[in-house]
Amino acid sequence: MLLKRADSDIERTDLDAVTGLPPRNALDNELPEFLRAMGRKRLPLSAIMVDVDDFKAFNDTYGHDVGDRVLRHVCSLIGDSVRYRGEAYRYGGEEITVLLPNADPGEALATATRICRAVRVTPLVLDGGDSGDSEKDPLQLTVTISLGVSSFPSVSGDQLLVTADSALLQAKRNGKDQAVSYEGKLRSLSEEPTTVINVRFPGLIDIKDGGIILLSRWFSHLNDPTELEAREISQPGRKKRDMVEGPAPKGGMATSEIRGRASDVERQGKYTFFSFEVESEVLELIVDALKHLKS
């Protein structure tokens, strides 16, 4: 169920001039109404706080006009993702707030994850004039966002946006380009079942337990998809990349990008060993890739 505002409640001139979304004061006025309506029906209300990653860099590199286009681009994709299901507002700066009536924490996190992916895989295309040089070919800007999710009545109504913002900050600390849910505690990755992969890296690297990392290049190891040798590891939160060259171990090679959380990090001799928690569906993709390589 979605509460829709009457057309007369907010005139077009009252919408945010850059994004076309209702502004912060509309959110302040309408959030209590949503909370009362959902509370009477004993239904949940979820909030998603969205922030454009590294937004200042777009303004500094291409100018504020392009920065505004980045915001409109993100808001358009958010609108497409929650149309007929929720309401988006410009919270301030590069932050957007989404309210999802009758959406429990799991559904809200799934929606936030879908929005995150939609922005990541949909570049903003600028012609040469937009990027400051009319002679240049069109430029594709990759934009990413971080999202924090919280739900009433898991948290009280007056803490709904506060806890969603706390989850957003954790998403930033985890490396950005992801959604984190607040449910009494912060929870990231997906609610999907996870699988632990044991990883060996032929080099000494300074990853830490609990860190979010990317395996950008990996090899099958010992013919077991839950044991991999990685040759390229990125730590997005620390803007670090570790690479090693050399022949592939027996079993083939696959090139992909796998995001997960590292744990049980050990350094032995010239190797770094760690466990790597990924969504179980990612493991299925790995198995399919290895089957293809061996066929």
For the annotated catalytic residues, the residue numbers are: 94
Report angle CA 27, 32, 34 to the nearest 5 degrees: 85
d(CA 219, CA 160): 43
Buried b (16+ CB within 10 A) or exposed e, 235-257: bbeeeeebeeeeeebebbbbeee
With beta carbons less than 8 A apart as the criterion, state whether 253 and 195 touch. no
Token output for 126: 């600028």
Cβ neighbours, 10 Å, residue 223: 11
Task: Name which of 189, 210, 196, 206 is nearest 259 in CA terms.
Answer: 189
CA distance to 26, 189, 218, 248, 283, per residue, from 293 (Å): 55, 28, 13, 13, 15
- DSSP β-bridge partners for residue 204: none
The number of angstroms, rounded, from the C-alpha of 107 to the middle of its chain's C-alpha atoms is 15
Task: Name which of 41, 158, 37 is nearest 87 in CA terms.
Answer: 37
Burial of 133 (0-12, 13-18, 19+ CB in 10 A): exposed
